[in-house]
Amino acid sequence: MTLSSHVIGSGPPATFLHGFTQTSHSWLELVEHLPLASTLVDAPGHGESLDGKRSLTQIGDDIAAIMPTGFLVGYSMGARMALHTALQHPHKVSALVLVSGTAGIRNDEERFARKNSDDTLAHHIEEVGVTAFIDEWLSQPLFAGLNTSTNQRPDRLRNTANGLANSLRYAGTGTQEPLWDQLHNLIMPVLLLCGTTDTKFHSIALEMATIIPNATCVAIEGAGHTVHLEQPKRFTEELLRFTATTEAR
């Protein structure tokens, strides 16, 4: 599948992958002033990439096919996709940034339960429609750090119920085979970014950093799950520091 994408800016190449219910446009305000040639990608089932029937393994191949060799940045769902891309196509990823990401659910029963939960939620999205679902989605405690000016609701409403539902069914967290035993294969520099108030993903990032050979974990004070939207200045500082030091090696 050829994913929809567009490039903004100039400089070293970097590819950005958004989270569930977002689109490639979610990165625009953050990257427009960065000294990077930023490739912004619509994930399957989101934005202009309407077909959501792609597994995470297939998506890893899809991303590698359109991204220039360089930095790869993924947030939440996008971080899971970026992790697959880096493991499947390490020659395309010179450095990896995972924001509020996970290597998957280890426990088989918990993963099966999450798959069932994702399938139920997918059906619910198709029943209630995009507008009602997005409002429900943004009301979760996970997004308590956002407000009406930062939650990007209008952009999320560009998605379709069918696209979001299929994204969950085919690439939700419940579908992800745990990748913890493959993390040691990541040979490129890796930056793990998270928010201090997002205790679950902070803990996951710290653990991943102990396994990945060349990893740095940075927890941004006062930020939750949506680090880059809640603390964009700090996020940008850490991203630029990482890209600068990586380019200098």
Domain containing 30 equals 5-248
What integer pLDDT is reported at residue 33 of this predicted model?
86
> In this structure, how many other beta carbons lie within 10 angstroms of the beta carbon of residue 112?
12
What integer pLDDT is reported at residue 7 of this predicted model?
97
For the chain, how many structural domains are there in total?
A: 1
pTM of the entire predicted model: 0.97
Average pLDDT, the chain: 97
CA–CA distance from 54 to each of 4, 89, 143, 163 (Å)? 14, 17, 26, 11
Q: Would you write out the chain's pLDDT as a tens digit for each of its 249 residues?
A: 999 999 999 999 999 999 999 999 999 999 998 999 999 999 999 999 999 999 999 999 999 999 999 999 999 999 999 999 999 999 999 999 999 999 999 999 999 999 999 999 999 999 999 999 999 999 999 999 999 999 999 999 999 999 999 999 999 999 999 999 999 999 999 999 999 999 999 999 999 999 999 999 999 999 999 999 999 999 999 999 999 988 645
Q: Which two tokens stand for residue 148?
A: 């009406």
H/E stretch holding 86 reads: helix 77-88
What integer pLDDT is reported at residue 247 of this predicted model?
67
Q: Which two tokens stand for residue 138?
A: 């943004």
Which CATH number does the domain housing residue 175 bear? 3.40.50.1820
The 10 Å CB-count burial string (b at 16+, else e) for 128-137 is: eebeebbeeb
pLDDT digits (tens, 9 = 90+) for 207-221: 999 999 999 999 999
In single-letter form, the type of residue at position 98 comes to L
C-alpha 52/C-alpha 205 separation (Å) is 27
C-alpha 76/C-alpha 97 separation (Å) is 11
Strand ranges across the sheet with 93-99: 5-8, 37-41, 13-17, 70-75, 93-99, 190-195, 215-220
Strand partners, 72: 15, 96
CA–CA distance from 141 to each of 2, 81, 200, 213 (Å)? 34, 24, 12, 33
- With contact defined as beta carbons under 8 Å apart, do 80 and 35 qualify? no
Pick from 137, 70, 67, 73: nearest CA to 99:
73
